[in-house]
Amino acid sequence: MASMMEYRRMLAERDLALVWPQWRIVRLLGAGSFGEVYEIQRDEYGLTSRCALKIVRKENPAPMPGDSYGSISGSNSSEDFINTVIKEIDIMQSLKGAPNIVVIDDYEIARSSDSCAVLIRMELLRNLRDYITSTQVTVNDIIRVGVDICNALEFCEGRNIIHRDVKESNIFYSDMGIFKLGDFGISKQLSDYMMNNATMTSAGTINKMAPEVYYGKRYDNRVDIYSLGVVLYSLLNYGRPPFYPPYHS
For 153, 202, 209, the CA distances from 225, given in Å and listed in that order, are 8, 18, 10
Which ranges of the chain does DSSP label H, i.e. alpha helix? 4-19, 72-94, 128-134, 139-158, 186-195, 211-214, 222-236
Nearest CA to 210 out of 188, 225, 200 is that of: 225
CB-neighbour burial class of residue 177 (10 A; exposed 0-12, middle 13-18, buried 19+): exposed
Residue type, 68: S
- Residue 164 bears catalytic tag: yes
- State the DSSP code for 49: E
DSSP letter string over 59-104? Answer: EPPPPPTT--TT-HHHHHHHHHHHHHHHHHHHHHHHTTT-TTBPPE
164, 218, 222, 240: the catalytic one is: 164
Active site residues: 164
